[in-house]
Amino acid sequence: MKSAALYNEYKTKMQKIADVKYASAVLQWDQETYLPPKGNSIRGNQIATLSEIAHQQFTDPKIGDMLNELVAKDDLTDTQKKNVQLSLTDYNKANKFTSDFVRQMSETTNKSFHAWIQARKENTFAAFEQPLDELIQLKKQEADILGYETHPYNALMNEFDKGLTVAITDKVFADLKPQLSLLLDEIKSKQQLDSSFLHQHFDKDNQWKLGIEILKRMQFDFEAGRQDISEHPFTINFNNVDVRVTTRIDETDFGNMTWSCIHEGGHALYEQGLPGEEYGLPLGEYCSLSIHESQSRLWENNVGRALPFWQHNFLLAQTFFPKQFGKISIEQFYSAINKVQPSLIRTEADELTYHFHVMIRYEIEKMLIEGSITTKDIPAYWNEHYKQYLGIEVPDDKRGCLQDVHWSHGSFGYFATYSLGSLYAAQLYAAISKEKESVEKEIAQGNNETVVHWLKKNIYPYGRYYTSEELCKKATGETLNSTHFINYATKKYRNIYKT
């Protein structure tokens, strides 16, 4: 068969498989937003069935024959070659798993997710321990099936960021930790900032309206997406013109919803910016979760916690909350939203102590997968290290080891990408600022076009064509360099705290 015809056949088959996967994703989105409680069990079966069907379709030997034939062709475009090569890698990996294993993983994950929801309601890890342990045993099997060198956790980390390893991550944290600690020590010696006015009563409906308006100003396309409420904020897509974000609202905490919207909005802009013509193919998918996280952290912190952003948007916040913010100056607000103080909840943490939250989860996951601790050890290890790293006592499981949804989803190997994403974000933003020195003046005038345009040019269009490090080098001229984050954080917080 001629190359063009064979490639089109491959593309059609891949898109049909994607249709099944995204149908399952719609059910997962509904499960976390609108599904009535009694529908949990059957919904789990529905998702498991679709996961199994998609796996069976993709691992069909005919797909493998087609991919191997295409790889041997010498007249494909570079884009076509890359799609085929990546699909063949995915195919070979998928064939390591039986359909029974895929279904078992899906069913166990569904069981674990609902156990997590119940455990949070009861505020006890005990209700989550056994389902989580079953899931961890499956993740250990997954690591063995995938294969690894040196450490079993490497196999799982590679699923979220190709080439990421324990050795690389350990070094990143070893370099980052002492520099963060020094900066935190400087801040501790200064008078603490007043953020009490961020913890008044903020009407739920007005918070919702503010969040929608901020997303619009970030250029999130509501004709190609929507926002809803969930237990834990997340972004999910079914194609680049159907991207869903969720948030949660605390009427006593202005920041909870606000930066959730900005964070998830950054993820969503990336998904909306992926090439639609590559739907169902590797180049229509995001590069890695480290790069994905760089998009949310860039908007949340480098833009959304910076003074220029609020020089334009603080008036909007005052319009929705005149009683709470009417007598607050922009300088007071800017300082308050950047207050550095150890806290219990990762998603509400300042951008310095945030990394210690990530380190704790990374260490727990690594030890669970290597077997040096067991599931029942999680609460004690968690509480001990929150005391050691952040100097705070964990009062209960809901605000401790039950706070994140990721383990209930089986997302082991994921947490390190949160810190890596912050490091990439600082480096990307430095490149934007270098390319156009007026960017902050533009943001202060409500013009986010330079940031959006740069990301559309340098990050969004490539899909999985490059690895994280390759894409970073192409966009900024160098691979990941944590100096950009340290320089950014040091300059910002020494200015805020007058150190």
Residue 44 has pLDDT above 90, yes or no: no
Written as one letter, the residue type at 322 is P
pTM of the model: 0.93
In the predicted model, what is the mean pLDDT of residues 13-39? 96
242-247 vs 235-239, strand pairing mode: antiparallel
Torsions phi, psi for 36 (to 5 deg): -65, 145
204 within 8 A of 447, measured Cβ to Cβ: no
Active site residue 264: yes
414-460, pLDDT tens digit by residue? Answer: 999 999 999 999 999 999 999 999 999 999 999 999 999 999 999 99
Give the number of other Cβ atoms within 10 Å of residue 201's Cβ: 11
Mean pLDDT of the chain: 96
Residue 485: predicted pLDDT: 97
CA distance 495 to 499: 7
Residue 330: predicted pLDDT: 97
The domain made up of 166-497 has a fold known as Neurolysin; domain 3 (1.10.1370)
E strand or H helix at 490, and its extent?
helix 483-497
CA distance 463 to 85: 14
Residue 192 has pLDDT above 90, yes or no: yes
* Residue 217 confidence class, pLDDT cut points 50, 70, 90: very high
65 burial via Cβ count (<10 Å: 0-12, 13-18, 19+): exposed
Torsions phi, psi for 427 (to 5 deg): -70, -40
Cα dihedral across residues 91, 96, 99, 102: positive or negative: negative
Q: What percent of the chain has pLDDT over 90?
A: 97
Checking 104-107 for CB contacts under 8 A at 24+ apart, the result is: 104/138, 105/51, 105/138, 105/142, 105/410, 106/44, 106/47, 106/48, 106/51, 106/52, 107/44, 107/45, 107/48
359 within 8 A of 346, measured Cβ to Cβ: no
CA distance 287 to 471: 8
What pairs with residue 247 in β-bridges?
A: 229
* Residue 281 confidence class, pLDDT cut points 50, 70, 90: very high
Residue 499: predicted pLDDT: 79
Residue 232 has pLDDT above 90, yes or no: no
CA distance 301 to 425: 9
Residue 41 has pLDDT above 90, yes or no: no
Closest CA to 111 of 404, 398, 409, 412: 409
In the predicted model, what is the mean pLDDT of residues 88-92? 97
Identify the active-site residue in 107, 264, 363, 469.
264
Closest CA to 261 of 290, 223, 222: 222
Residue 10 has pLDDT above 90, yes or no: yes
In the predicted model, what is the mean pLDDT of residues 41-66? 94
Would you state the structure tokens that stand for residue 342, as one six-digit string? 């150890």
What does the domain layout of the chain look like in residue ranges?
3-95, 166-497
In angstroms, what CA-CA distances link 123 with 113, 117, 361?
15, 10, 19
Written as one letter, the residue type at 227 is Q
Written as one letter, the residue type at 84 is V
Distance of CA 440 to the CA centre of its chain: 25
Closest CA to 202 of 300, 305, 320: 320
267-280, pLDDT tens digit by residue? Answer: 999 999 999 999 99
